[in-house]
Amino acid sequence: MAFKTTHVGSLPRPQNITETDILNVVKMQVETGVDEVNDGEYTRSVFFGDISNLPGFKQNEFSIIASAGDEVKLGVVEGKIQYDPSSPLAAKEVAAVKGALGKLGEKRRVKVSIPSLSWMSIFYPDPKTIPSKDQNFVGKMAVVVREFYPTVDEYLEDIKRILINEARAAIDAGADTVQFDSPDLLQFDVYGQFYEEKEREKLKWAIGINNEVLESLPGGSLQVHSCWGNLMNTQFNTLGHYDLALPELYELKAGTIGPLEVFDGMRDYEELKIFENYPRPKGINIALGLVSVKSRNVEPVEEIRRRYEAAIKVIDEDRLIVSPGCGFASDPHSLHSMESARRKLTNMVQAVKREQ
């Protein structure tokens, strides 16, 4: 395998982003030694904001509650999505990163991330899948949306066309990796309830619709990231383990599965052992999150090295990519500074690439 280290995408954002800020965030990544770089998702306020900010979405309307009780507002679709396929969003990010690398005289793999089709399904108003206090509002929105998208499937067909166009354009612009962000795949404790049969059924549905997108694209360039949730750098989901998810995740039609969050403070060495029970499919890379974004504490090189040595006992070293478990700024309220992100990435690279 040509590269060993990556990161999920988002990095701490300054206010009022300029071209200089993008140059600086690319420079920071280059200096850490990480193999794949991006624009830090600086053109977005949140990881899915490139798509959910399109005309047709209504912002910040209903709540999702994290395990710690924190509340985050999500939007809903309220009309026909307006998207210009001749002006793809992700391709512009790729061009900005390649331009920054050119100014720095550096070569790195370029990654861009876009939300998955199954994640985008949560924006279709459905009173059965939202907190009870918001049911009245979402019920009213459901009536409005049916004029444009009578069913969630019709809405998803529109989103699918957008995502495929975004991914193709990003690859054409020079992206080495297009990562589909899909934290929904590991959301097993919605509203504090867990029913294994129902969760597995939901997961299989999500894998199926995501594969409709993936199968339309060159698989070697594709990656699917999922995690246990990251709201204000706290754990979103606390129930469920990889033994519920891995068989289905391995069915994704992507060249790389992950980064999958392992060392998050709740699922650590014991969780890693589950990977022994589900051998990696042939030809698939696995990206594992061996560095946590749930804390600003910077893991020492030796600790990350211990995690890496444990990981290569269960996943072939030549197919393992190492990463933080989630983005450093998945929402606008990141506790990380750019310096803490820099130190974590630097130590991660040193731990993985150190001479044996």
Domain ranges, ordered by start, for the chain: 19-353
- CA dist 295 and 47 (Å) reads 19
Closest to 247 measured CA to CA, from 275, 210, 213, 282: 275
Assign a CATH topology to domain 19-353: TIM Barrel (3.20.20)
pLDDT of residue 33: 97
Note the pTM of the prediction, 2 decimals: 0.94
pLDDT digits (tens, 9 = 90+) for 256-269: 999 999 998 778 89
Residue 310 has pLDDT above 80, yes or no: yes
More confidently predicted of 84 and 332: 84
Q: What is the mean pLDDT of the chain?
A: 89
Residue 90 has pLDDT above 80, yes or no: yes
Query: Where does the pLDDT of residue 138 fall: very low under 50, low under 70, confident under 90, or very high at 90 and above?
Result: confident
pLDDT digits (tens, 9 = 90+) for 59-70: 777 776 666 666
pLDDT of residue 51: 93
In 3-state terms, what secondary structure has residue 90?
Answer: helix
Residue 38 has pLDDT above 50, yes or no: yes
What average pLDDT does range 224-230 have in this prediction? 87
pLDDT of residue 356: 47
- CA dist 263 and 309 (Å) reads 13
Return all residues near 253 (Cβ < 8 A) that are at least 6 apart: 211, 214, 215, 219, 222
What are the backbone dihedrals phi and psi of residue 187, each rounded to the nearest 5 degrees, phi first?
-90, 90
Enter the tokens of residue 286: 């696995």
